[in-house]
Amino acid sequence: MRLLKKEWLTSHGKNNILGKVAREEGRLKGFIQFGPTKLYPQQFNYKSGPVSPDAMLITCLFIAKEYRRRGLARLLLSLAEEVAQQYNYAAIEAFARKGSTDNPSGPIELFLAYGFEILKNDEEFPLVRKVL
């Protein structure tokens, strides 16, 4: 996997292409991690996987508690969407989490509010997709 990430960085540059970080005065407010599906073999461990071959995968979306409900998650999702469009992906997908806001993948309610649809349902981690 390390080699694949190195290939991705080499072919797509090193300007935060695998994620975006939101900081304020050096303090972490939130971040989003994403990339080509081949970089994330753990996608096959999800009951609702794997991710579609035409999609870029969002693997982590985190917002610090004190910065939640201020539009930061939507901003980070829009930045990931821009990168996906720039590299001609047809969609972005994520394994959203049901029933918890404290998880690395992000709550399903957030993704649905941002225009994602459930592609493959699961009781804990449905696969959600937004066509670009």
> Residue 113's closest CA among 123, 101, 103?
101
| pLDDT of amino acid 38 | 85
| Tokens at 10, concatenated | 């080499």
Residues in the chain: 132
The pTM for the full model equals 0.84
Phi-psi map region of 71: left, alpha, beta (phi>0 left; psi -120 to 50 alpha): left
How far is C-alpha 34 from the geometric centre of its chain's CA atoms? 5
CATH 3.40.50.300 fits 2-131, yes or no: no
The pLDDT profile of the chain, 132 residues, written as one tens digit per residue, is: 444 545 545 455 544 358 888 888 888 889 999 999 888 888 999 999 999 999 999 999 999 989 889 999 999 999 999 999 999 999 999 999 887 666 677 889 999 999 999 999 999 999 999 999
What residues does each domain of the chain span?
2-131
